[in-house]
Amino acid sequence: MSSDSLPPLPQNLIVLGCGQVAVDFLATVASFPNPDDKIRSTSLKVQGGGNAGNASTCAARLGLNPRLISKVSNDSHGKGILEELEADGVDTSFFIVSEKGNSSFTYVIVDSQTKTRTCIHTPGYPPLIPEELSQSSLLSALDGVNMVYFDGRHHETALVVAKEAARKNIPILVEAEREREGLDDLLDFATYAICSAKFPQAWTEAPSFSSALISMLLRLPKLKFVIGTLGEEGCIMLERSVNGGSDAEEMDVQCLLESLKLIKDDSKTIPTCISSVETKLSANGIGTITGRLFVGTAEKIPPSELVDTTGAGDAFIGAVLYALCAGMPPEKMLPFAAQVAATGCRALGARTGLPLRTDPRLVSFL
């Protein structure tokens, strides 16, 4: 498929994000320093960051119309954050701009030897509070929106937005990177959840990753699916059955996961996805969920092309937002999101390598 024959853009174009924005100071070093070392960077880039800012930028480059609720200060960092988001097509008209304090920023040290990054974050101050978002602004921000996304920051304001979105029956995607204050309340409203590798077990105290996904769906009855991202190992998704599946076969979720892993094709370098049939998935001591289990792979990026993994999870989420608006099935959504994330890892910073929808590396996934 060429870029000239891409499918039409989804009609559900408007997504609303609420969460963190920042400035990233990205320094590449030959290897991470030891304590009290003095070293020189091999390259330096200053660009916008923050989970919600990155995911919204990704969604915009893929063709959606993102709006963003967040807060910056009226300083040089804040002005740069707004200008960069607007240049990428993100609507910042619902931002709060404080005349005092500082905008959020992060020092990111990229280790060329291990291909890892270390982040040192300074939060913005003063924080966003619900009273700063008027009811009229909230209603305007949600007008015409087809999806709302939260990264777990600004939790008090986010909860106000989530309650109104739920009242309007707008689907909600919640990112669960790690346990944060107020995240439990947000997850109660979630239609979809995307988690880091460690979150499901930390949150549920389940004995395995797969049983933790079952526990999450049991604890969160509104949740349609949960995705656990595993970096270069891909992702695992558990989708709740819509119809109940009373006649489905019952199977231990860990055994099913292992069987799916055995049949995946490790020779392929591009992202792929394999799935189970509708099954009653059980986890000992936790319970049973009827649904489907998916194993998604990541692209095998040649070491010579892998530059920086900063923001890979944010890119994955931005691509999932697009996929949900476009009505992609999971078998198509997971490889597409993995490809978007991998494309971004070929450049320094969370946003430099984020692809446009017409990128030749994406057209076969659309």
First to last CA, the chain: 9
Residue 63 corresponds to which amino acid? Answer: G
Does residue 77 carry a pLDDT above 50? yes
**What pLDDT, on a 0 to 100 scale, did the predictor assign at position 332?**
97
Taking the C-alpha atoms of residue 324 and residue 96, their distance in angstroms, rounded to an integer, is: 28
CATH superfamily entry for domain 3-31+41-365: Ribokinase (3.40.1190.20)
- pLDDT band (50, 70, 90) for residue 3: low
Average pLDDT, the chain: 94
pLDDT tens digits, one per residue of 43-67: 999 999 999 999 999 999 999 999 9
Task: Map out the domains of the chain as residue ranges.
Answer: 3-31+41-365
Percent residues over pLDDT 90 in the chain: 90
Q: Percentage helix, strand, coil, to 5, in the chain?
A: 35, 25, 40
- pLDDT band (50, 70, 90) for residue 1: very low
Q: Are 105 and 24 a contacting pair, CB within 8 Å?
A: yes
- pLDDT band (50, 70, 90) for residue 266: confident
Question: Apex CA 104: angle with CA 103 and CA 108, to 5°?
Answer: 140
Does residue 4 carry a pLDDT above 90? no
What is the average per-residue pLDDT within 257-263?
Answer: 92
DSSP string for 133-186: S-HHHHHHHHTT-SEEEE-S-SHHHHHHHHHHHHHTT--EEEEESS--TTHHHH
- State the alpha helices, DSSP H only, in 62-133: 76-87
What is the average per-residue pLDDT within 280-297?
Answer: 95
**What pLDDT, on a 0 to 100 scale, did the predictor assign at position 242?**
82
Taking the C-alpha atoms of residue 129 and residue 2, their distance in angstroms, rounded to an integer, is: 47
Nearest to 148 by CA among 138, 134, 136: 138
Please give the distance of CA 104 from its chain centroid, rounded to a whole number. Answer: 19
Name the pTM for this structure. Answer: 0.94
pLDDT tens digits, one per residue of 134-193: 999 999 999 999 999 999 999 999 999 999 999 999 999 999 999 999 999 999 999 999
Q: Are 345 and 306 a contacting pair, CB within 8 Å?
A: yes
Q: Are 147 and 321 a contacting pair, CB within 8 Å?
A: yes
